[in-house]
Amino acid sequence: MKIPCKIVAEVLALLKELVKPGVTTQDLDSIASCEVKKHKAKAAFKGYHNYPNALCCSPNNQVVHGIPTSIPLKNGDILSLDFGVFYDDFYGDAAITVPVGDVSDLAATLIKVTEQSLYEGVRNAVPGGRLFDVSYAIQSFVESKGFSVVRDFVGHGIGRCLHEDPQVPNFGVPGKGILLKPGMVLAIEPMINQLGHDVRVLKDDWTVVTCDGGLSAHFEHTVAITDSGPVILTCL
């Protein structure tokens, strides 16, 4: 799984540098498609339950699963990019949220807290621990900063399929959930809202938005649980 995960990390790092005012999310999607071909890999999301693109692009009040559009990004937007790759029978999956130009202090804080919450979760993905220790670490960190955790979408196991058991919620009771063991691989992916946690799906049947119009951020890593602790596979 190191190979698809490394490709995911490289493509997201490239896209991050390209995000600026005037760029469209369709431009970013084209670049992601092109990069994945160069690596002789496949974009994991395209065609998955008929999802139309390689990349999910979710600006501002969009939480996840935003479809790339021809609308140029504007200074002050925030943009979540979620990308998955299939290579040699295995999947990798990761997401980042990036500022477009100069963003408000609030937006910058939401991004920082969401990213940090992912690492709080990862730190708890250890053999002998319980799944909801990961969930609780994310939730308690996020709520201590005054933001809210999306309930309706969760992380997941990953391997030969993009989505495997177990579901990995970003909220839960510590000490509960399945026992974590070496060899398990989890996609841990906090989706964090500025205001309330409620979300809804738009009529395109994909785009998830906040009900109250508040901002939302998303970070994700594919993480292997090993004897020596968690290993983030989706890093450079």
Write out the residues near Co ion by the rule CB under 5 A.
Answer: 93, 187
* CA–CA separation, 202 and 211 (whole Å): 11
> Which CB, 113 or 187, lies closer to ligand MF3?
187
What's the min distance (Å) between Cβ of 51 and ligand MF3?
3
Tell me the closest approach of the beta carbon of residue 97 to ligand MF3, in angstroms.
13
Give the contact letters, 80-119, x = binds to ligand MF3 (CB under 6 A), - = no.
--x-x--------x--------------------------
Secondary structure of 104-146 in HEC code, one letter for each residue:
CHHHHHHHHHHHHHHHHHHHCCCCCCEHHHHHHHHHHHHHHCC
Q: Which two tokens stand for residue 21?
A: 């005012």
Instruction: Give the x-and-dash track for 37-76 against ligand MF3 (CB under 6 A).
Output: --------x--xx-x----x--------x-----------
Give me the residues that bind ligand MF3 (CB under 6 A), please: 45, 48-49, 51, 56, 65, 82, 84, 93, 163, 187, 189, 220
